[in-house]
Amino acid sequence: MTNIAVKISGKKKSAFLDKVKEILPDGGNLNACLTCGACSSGCPATGVDGMDARKFLRMAAFGMDEEVLSTKWVWACTMCQRCVYVCPMKINIPQLVYNARAAWPREDRPKGIRGSCDAASKVDSCSAMGLTGEMFSETVAELLEEVREDQEGMEKLQAPMNKKGAYYFVNQNSREPQMEEDEMVPLWKILNTVGADWTYSSKGWAAENYCMFLADDEAWRKQVQLKADAVHELGCKVWLNTE
């Protein structure tokens, strides 16, 4: 009888996994995965492009760089962190997804997200729709006047702009003043009803940040810094982001 030695090799060498381990606390804790599937059960992106959170995590853990860095599924992830919430080992899959996105050449990342990030980077409002602070201020003023005139009991409704020393600095999704301006009014009514001391700003007023979803660290940082500077400039105590 001939004895045949069978060599069982270890995991594939993974440049992506090595980088992730350097960045994430405890190396991302990927080896703690129980393969229970809890992450996939509540994930809104499960099944998109034949992928789910558990499968993506296992591919990363086994060093399958080519598959991990080529799947379009990473752009379907909403970064909601529901997977982290239900994971018994608290493995941060969204951070893994973020780093996979960052590995894509910028020109190959989704055009819509990239375009929104670039548009927001061109204006100090940080609006992904390209709305300037002046345009936002005009829209708020015109809409406020209309509501005061047309809605009974709303004659004293306030929507402050650049109010120094206000307690709350309120951000607004930039799609609303551009496409759905009436959607802003319910928030005004709530804030006024509870007597909140709040304000909008003509700078850094846009709530969304597509550069985060694009995994563009530098553009993301610049937009957050611009918004933070606007908060400090007005002397507000709490930054209330509606996204």
Distance CA 177, CA 96 (A): 34
Tell me the CA end-to-end span of the chain in Å, nearest whole number: 70
Domain ranges of the chain: 15-104, 111-240
Q: CB–CB of 54/40 below 8 Å?
A: yes
For 23-36, b/e burial (b = at least 16 CB within 10 A) is ebeeebebeebeee
DSSP string, 33-84: -----HHHHT-TTTTGGG--HHHHHHHHHTT-HHHHTT-GGGGT-----HHH
Each residue's pLDDT tens digit, 5-62 = 434 344 555 667 776 666 655 655 677 888 899 999 989 999 999 999 999 988 888 8
Each residue's pLDDT tens digit, 99-127 = 999 999 999 999 999 999 999 999 999 99
10 Å CB burial of residue 74 (0-12, 13-18, 19+) is buried
Res 4 pLDDT > 50:
no
Say what the pTM is. Answer: 0.81
Q: How confident is the model at residue 200 (pLDDT cuts 50, 70, 90)?
A: very high
Distance CA 203, CA 209 (A): 14
Res 80 pLDDT > 50:
yes
Q: What is the pLDDT of residue 6?
A: 35
DSSP string, 116-143: HHHHHHTSTT--TT---HHHHHHHHHHH
Distance CA 67, CA 221 (A): 29
